[in-house]
Chains A and B, each alone.
Chain A
Amino acid sequence: MWKKKQRKRFEEIVKEYTPRIFRMIYNMTGDYENTSDLTQDVFMNAWNAFDHFRGDSSIYTWLYRIALNRVFQYRKRAARYKTIPIDDIFLSNTNSNPEKGVIERADKELVKRLIQNLPEKHQDVLILRYYEGKDYSTIADILNIPIGTVRSRLHRSVSTLTNLYRGKK
């Protein structure tokens, strides 16, 4: 009976959180092809540990932590320290039709590339804050760092991006 209840609860969690976890993994890896597999791994790990989840943190903080660990493993394995030459994408976009929509798309793409060139720990806070809309205390909880560090990392990443963007315009 208890097992059935647990299972039902878990399935509800899968339905509710799969799109969010998928989106977060994609934003952190930029690898659409592997995002489905990574999302599946996250929920498989979550299911295996579900009996041990005591509710000390909220369910989404717990899931985000599992997802982040999976992303860290993936990055290590993929040795994803390749940096993307920013000029390539920017120049190719500005040479095309300079209509508003095209420029906006180029801008979006450029900002994404610039974010991907930041140190990973800076990318992580940036994505959790502005893509996922998490507040400082939740980010601190997920990443297990002090709130002050969240703020200083955000300040640095936003300043670096400002500088980079200015240099590219």
Chain B
Amino acid sequence: MKDKHIGELIQGYIDGELSRKQEKKVREHLRECAECRRMLQEKKGTVKLIKNSIEEINVPVDLIGTIISQTSQKRVARVEWRYIAIGTAALFILTLVVFNFIKDSSHPISKDMEKQAPIEYTRDSEEPIPPKKQPEKVTRDKKIEVVKEDIDKKKEYVSFFEETRLVFPEEGSVVGDDFEIVIILREPTKKIDLKIDGENIKIHSSDSNILYIHSDSLPLLEKGIHYLSLGDPQIQSILFYKEG
């Protein structure tokens, strides 16, 4: 079975969350694929470790009593922020309308008003500043499936070599904005030299073993082969994730 989601299906299989049809598909695949059998065993082992790591936590004895007594007092008057927001917006619009109305010197009524009662403000300084135009968001085409050929063959694991190739061969394919490269280091580090196609990529690290690079911080990668190179010899492995 050439299924790029086999890892997720195996996860669902362990958790008992697959339909009968999916379960059958996974079982059949497992019979033939030694690599996936290994993945299943590893995942099962990790799930067991996670469950074993649950601690017995003592809930403070008086907590329930405290909560009951606290909540039995008068309810906190909730501030309805949405009404405040609507009110503020309405006031702002009204102010704009009034200013425009007064500013319009050709308007006969405003001229009369100016004659009758001089208004104490300077137009230049008090004229409301129109809101700044937001730069247009660049939308990425999410419909096109990214084909990560090299990566899928290795079931989402990319071993670290001196250079790792990322291949996006489909016509017009771009890397969507929901993927993540996770670099696992042998020891915590603050700095790592990562380059994609020779371009330096900034990575935030807080002296940790794991570095997460979200696609947001990467340049837009179009179809073709891209080279991801890392200058740090302390790398244990690299994982490439695409949001499902």
Contacts and interface: CB of A to CB of B under 8 A. Distances in A.
Task: Please indicate which of the listed interface residues B57, B72, B76 has the most CB atoms of chain A within 10 Å of its own CB.
Answer: B57
A154 B42 contact: no
A162 B42 contact: yes
Interface residues of A, number: 59
B151 interface: no
A162 B186 CA distance: 15
B74 to A, nearest CB: 11
Contacts of A111: 49-50, 52-53
A117 B50 CA distance: 14
A44 B71 contact: yes
B70 A11 contact: no
Chain A binding site: helix, strand, loop or mixed by DSSP? helix
Interface residues of B, number: 53
B72 A7 contact: yes
A53 interface: no
B17 interface: yes
Contact of A155 (B7, B71, B76, B187): B7
Interface string B28-57: 000000000000001101110111111101
Contacts of B86: none
B154 to A, nearest CB: 12
A19 B66 CA distance: 13
A117 B236 contact: no
A152 B236 contact: no
Interface string A137-169: 000000000001101111110111111111100
A36 B60 contact: yes
A81 interface: yes
Interface string B160-202: 0000000000000000000010101011100000000000000
B7 A159 contact: yes
Nearest to A147: B17
Contacts of A161: 46, 49-50
Interface of A: 7, 10-11, 14-15, 18-19, 22-23, 26, 32, 36, 39-40, 43-44, 47-48, 81-87, 104, 107-109, 111-112, 115, 117-119, 126, 129-131, 135-136, 148-149, 151-156, 158-167
